Each structure stands twice: as structure tokens, then as C-alpha cells.
Structure 1
Amino acid sequence: MMRPSTFFFLTRRGVRNLGKHWAMTIACIASLSVCMTLNIFASLAEVNVGNMVAYLGSQNETVVYLDPTCDDATAAQVGATLSAMPGVSGVQYVSKQDVLNTYRGYMQDYSSLWDEFETDNPFKANYRVTLSDLTQMESMSVKMQAIPGVVSVTAPVEMTNIFVEIQKAVTKGGRMIVLVLMVVSIITVGSTIRLSVFARRREIEIMKYVGATNRMVTLPFFVEGLTMGLISGILTAAVSLGCYSYVVNAAGGLGGIWQMLMGRALVPVANVLPTIVVTSLLSGAIVGGVGSTFSIRKHLNV
């Protein structure tokens, strides 16, 4: 059992070791911060693309047209059936008159031309259906088509499939980047600690010969790697939040469709702030601790 005074002595020694190899320490913290920042950016891209796809999905409604000959009871039954279907998040009824009024609003200067349709409305009443899962749009459209009283179903299946494929590609790419950079980060910390261990290999051998346990030898190097990881985590969180805040604030001035997509679909900074801070610090601590532990292991056998 290690005494508290020994523990604190070895901990302080590990922190002081950062200054003995300050050039490598700075290089390690810088490279680790870059790797972790890229990890955060990849994760943010994945989250925002998913949110963007969900936003676009809420704008691309499936239109279920009712048979012009169906009565009010059948129309109501169609609405109840649609609402009860798994995966349906919203159902809105649009009457024939509502459709006519919509088109009349599009052509206000020629609204008198639409008066002819007041007594002979050619439009079909319909339901505007919003799905919670865009990947199910095609299969759901087939099921909606089979409902009694439905004459046709219009759904942006091809455009939705493009959005879904983009989301899958970004998700796979982001996770691959995170995995690769995490390995690079561990190797980076391990290399720096390994240099420190090599420079003090004789000291480690003497400590082992006089009876120092593996835990006593390992603790200063573990603290050294952990400290570098935490410092890198703080820098990563600061840079990531600063850059992401700039992107979110700049999204409102893009104009046109980009403003619609980026301005409304980007996840607010407040929503990702706790995750970025916790992830950065936790990742830095894990990478620093794991990298230092693996680096010193082979020097413990004396």
C-alpha cells in the first residue's frame, strides 16, 4: 500500500517532468490537440448532417391523395389509419378548397381566373404525412397506397435516398477518422513518454533494484501523460467551441437555400457545449494515461 506522502511526491515529480523535456512536451500537446480537434470536428459534422437530414425530411412531406368519390367517413378513416401507422410523426388534412385557396394565393394578380373552379373544383383532398424515419419512405408509400380510399401517393423517394446516403457516408467517414486519429494520438503521447523513459532508464533500473514497486515507477510517467492529455483536452475544447460558434453565427448570412439549411439545421452551440468539453477532457485523459502506461511497461522488467 503506497503512503499518501509517497503518492503526492511521485505525482509532483510527474508534473515537473513536463518541464525537463519541454520541447517534446509542447510538440506532443500540439499534435495531440490537433488530432483531438479533428476528432471533434468529425463528430460535429456527423451530428449536423444527421440533423440536417432530419430537417429536410420534415420539409419533404408524403402526399396521400384521396379518391374524389370517397365520403367524409372514408376520408376520416384514412386519416386515422395514417396516424396509427408506425413511423408516422405528423398527419395534416388538406381539403379540396384548401388546395384551391393555396393556388389562388400563388397567383394573386390573377385570382379571378380561379373563380371558375369554385363550383367545379378539380383538385383532390389529401393528407400531408411526415415520417420520423426517412429510410422507410418508399416502403411506407406502398403501405399508404393500399389504404381503402387512397387513389395515389406522391413521395420524394429519390431525393430522400440521396440525403440518407449522404448521411451514411458522413457517419462512416467520421467514425473512421475518429478511430484513426485516436490511434495516432495514443502513439504520439506514447512516443513522447518513451523518450522520457529512455532518458531515465538507468534511474528506473536503480529504483527497481532498491525495491521500488512497478506502481511507484509508473505513477510519475502516468501523471506526466495524463497532464499532457488534460492540457490538450482544454485546448481542444476551446478551439472546437470557438470555431463551431463562428460557423453557427456565420450561417445566418449565407443567404438563399444555404441559409435555410445551415441556419436552421445546425445544432446550437449550447446543445453541444457540454459534450465537447466532457469529450475533450475525457479523451485527453484516456489517451494520455493509456499512452504513458504502454510506453513504460517494457522497462519495468529489470
Structure 2
Amino acid sequence: MMRPSTFWFLTRRGIRNLGKHWAMTVACIASLSVCMTLNTFASLAEVNVDSMVNYLGNQNETVVYLDPDCDDATAQQVGDTIAAMDGVTNVQYVSKQDVLDTYRGYMQDYSSLWDEFETDNPFKANYRVSIRDLSQMEAMSKKLQAIPGVYSVTAPVEMTNVFVQIQQSVTRVGRGIVLVLMIVSVITVGSTIRLSVFARRREIEIMKYVGATNGLVTLPFVVEGLAMGLISGALTAAVTVGAYSYMVQASDGLGGVWQMIMGQALVPVSAVWPTILTYSLAGGAIVGGLGSMFSIRKHLNV
């Protein structure tokens, strides 16, 4: 078992190794920071698209019209059935009179028609239904239509499918970018560590011949990779949070059109910065550690 004094000695040695090839270290940190920043912005794009789709889902309600001949008991039963369905997040009943009152302001110039509507209301009572998963809207509409007492169902299925496809495309592209850049990051760190290993290959061989364990040989290089990864993670978090804060402030000035589409400017910085910081540091440490271990592994077989 490694003694604490040996562990700290090797750790300090790994940190000092950063300065031995400082130019390559700086280039590695810069490259890794760029890759991780692009990864983070790809993830932020996915988060904001999800937020937009969820907002649009809340705005585009499915309207379930009741049969004009159904009684109050049937209407109540329809509402209870809808509320019990899996995936339904909100159900609001709108009576015939509520619908008529909604259109009252639009019919001021048609007083005679309004008087006729007062005595013979042509509108149908309905339920306004919000669905959690927009991709299930079409299937949910068919289930709603099959409920006894339902006259018809109106849902923005085509528009919803477009937004769901956009969401899925952004998710796939974002995850593809993350995967590619993660591989690039590991290769970048590995190249830097490989130079350090190559410069000390004779020293490593001698250490192995005199009985040094793989842990003693590997630890300084792993610490070097972890240090580069953590520095890159901290830089990534600082740059990303700063740039994203600017984007949020800029989107605030775009006015009502953006607000109508997105529901809010962008996902607030306060909601994402802890995740950005955590994932940047953790991602940097993982990439740095993996890059180091892959680079040193073949030199352990002496």
C-alpha cells in the first residue's frame, strides 16, 4: 500500500511536470477548453430547445368538445376520465356560457346576432387539456376521441410534430458533437502526456526494473492530466457563464416576438450555472485522467 508521504510526493511531482513542457501544456489547456466550451454550448442549446418545446406545449392545449346532448353527469364523467389519463397535466372545464362570454367583446357590432345567441347558444362545452409529452399528442387525441360523451377533439398535431422533430434533431446533433469533441479532448490530453512520457521513458524503464509498481509510475502523469483537465474545466465554466449571461441579456432586448416564441428570454443563468460548473470540472477531470492513463499504459510493459 502506498504511504501518504509517497502519494503527496508523486502528486507534487505531477503538478511540477506541467511546467516542464509549458508550451504544450498551455496549448493542451487551450484546446481542451475550446472543446469543452463547444460541448457546453451544445448542451445549453438542447436545454433551451427543450424549454421552448415545453412552453409551446403548455400554450397549445388540446380542446375536447362535449356532445351537445350530454347531461351534467356525463360531462363530469368525461372530465374525471381525462384527468385520470396518464400524461395529462391539466384539465380545465369551459361551459357553453363561458365560451359565449369570451366572444361577447367580438360581437358588439352584431347585436341582433348576439341576442339570438343568448337564447340559443350554438357553442359547445369543452375541456382544455394540457399534455406532458408533446410527442404523444396524436395518440392522446385518439384516446380522448374514444371517450363516451366526446363530440370531437381539436389538437395542433402537425405543428407539435414539427417542434418535436426539431427538439429530437437538436438533441441528436448536440450529443453527436459532445461525443466527437470528447474524443478529441482525450486525444489532445493524451498527446501532451505522451510527450512527457517520451521524455522520461528511460527513467520509467529504470523505475520498473528496480521494482516500482505501476501505481508509482502512473500517478504523476495522472495528476498532470487531472490538473490540466481541472484548469480547462474552470476556464470553460468562466467563459461559458460569461458568454451565456451576455446572450441572455441580449435576448431580453429582442422584444415581444422572442418572448412569444420562447416564453422567456432564455433559460436563466441562475438555473444553469451550478450545472455548468459541476460538469465542466468533472468533465475536465475525467478527460484528463483518461488521456493520461491511455498514454502511459503501453510504457508500463517493460
What TM-score do the two structures reach when normalised by structure 1? 0.94
CA distance in 1, matches of 2:264, 2:112: 37
Residue 270 in 1 paired to residue 270 in 2? yes
What does residue 85 of structure 1 align with? 85
Cα distance, 1:60 vs structure 2? 0.5
Structure 2: which 5+ runs fail to align?
none
What does residue 110 of structure 1 align with? 109
What does residue 61 of structure 1 align with? 61
Q: Which amino acid aligns with 1:214?
A: N
Cα distance, 1:113 vs structure 2? 5.7
Cα distance, 1:100 vs structure 2? 1.7
CA distance in 2, matches of 1:78, 1:212: 76
Q: Which amino acid aligns with 1:292?
A: S
**Which has the higher mean CA deviation after the structures are superposed, 15-24 or 269-278?**
269-278
**Which has the higher mean CA deviation after the structures are superposed, 119-128 or 29-38?**
119-128
Cα distance, 1:212 vs structure 2? 2.5
Deviations 1:181-220 (A, max 9, x none): 1111100000010011111212222323333322222111
CA distance in 2, matches of 1:137, 1:83: 15
What does residue 47 of structure 1 align with? 47
CA RMSD of aligned residues (A): 1.7
**Which has the higher mean CA deviation after the structures are superposed, 204-213 or 32-41?**
204-213
Cα distance, 1:249 vs structure 2? 2.4
Q: Which amino acid aligns with 1:226?
A: L
CA distance in 2, matches of 1:249, 1:113: 51
CA distance in 2, matches of 1:125, 1:159: 25
**Which has the higher mean CA deviation after the structures are superposed, 240-249 or 166-175?**
240-249
SS at match of 1:123: coil
Distance 1:207 1:113, change over 3 A: farther
SS at match of 1:118: helix
Is the 2:88–2:132 Cα contact (8 Å) retained in structure 1?
yes
Give the 5 Å matches for 1:85-234. 85-105=85-105, 107=106, 110=109, 112=111, 115-116=114-115, 117-234=117-234
What does residue 298 of structure 1 align with? 298
Cα distance, 1:221 vs structure 2? 1.0
Structure 1: which 5+ runs fail to align?
none
**Matched positions, count:** 301
CA distance in 2, matches of 1:13, 1:108: 83
**Which has the higher mean CA deviation after the structures are superposed, 255-264 or 145-154?**
255-264
What TM-score do the two structures reach when normalised by structure 2? 0.94
Deviations 1:109-158 (A, max 9, x none): 63746532212222111111111111111111112112222111111000
CA distance in 2, matches of 1:245, 1:262: 17
CA distance in 1, matches of 2:108, 2:198: 84
Identity %: 77
CA distance in 1, matches of 2:166, 2:207: 57
